[in-house]
């Protein structure tokens, strides 16, 4: 059976047209990439640190409007609400100098 026949059979089995099946196949066979790697030209900042939480973009009170004391209080409150492990990870990767890598945290 040639590759085109295999692709048609896969698309039929999945109930997709050939183009959708090809797109799905690309998605599931593509290479994975870690977010815990430094971004080129960024002094070692991990890709993970550059991600933004979409939910945080819609809050009525933005970080720019908080005074430094209010920001510290909000951060402390948010950190206290987290489970111990998650709080430790945030502090180690975002607050500590130098920041720990997730690989180093996993080795603990």
> H or E element: which one contains 19?
helix 18-29
What pLDDT sits at residue 57? Answer: 61
**Strand-pair partners of 46:** 38
User: How many CB atoms within 10 Å of residue 21?
Assistant: 19
pLDDT tens across 53-68, in order?
776 666 555 656 657 7
pLDDT tens across 1-27, in order?
788 888 888 888 888 888 888 888 887
Domain spans of the chain, in order of start: 61-106
Determine what percent of the chain is predicted with pLDDT higher than 90: 7
Picking from 34, 41, 13, the residue whose alpha carbon sits closest to that of residue 25 is: 13
Picking from 32, 65, 54, 51, the residue whose alpha carbon sits closest to that of residue 93 is: 51
Residue 3 token pair:
């590759």
CA dist., res. 49 & res. 89, Å (int)? 12
pTM of the model: 0.37
């Amino acid at each position: 059976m040639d590759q085109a026949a295999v692709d048609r059979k896969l698309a039929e089995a999945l109930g997709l047209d050939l183009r959708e099946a090809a797109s799905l196949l690309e998605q599931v066979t593509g290479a994975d990439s870690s977010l815990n790697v430094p971004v080129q030209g960024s002094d070692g900042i991990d890709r993970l640190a550059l991600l933004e939480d979409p939910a945080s973009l819609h809050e009525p009170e933005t970080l720019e409007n908080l005074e430094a004391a209010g920001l510290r209080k909000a951060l402390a409150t948010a950190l206290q609400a987290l489970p111990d492990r998650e709080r430790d990870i945030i502090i180690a990767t975002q607050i500590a100098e130098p920041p720990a890598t997730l690989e180093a945290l996993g080795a603990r």
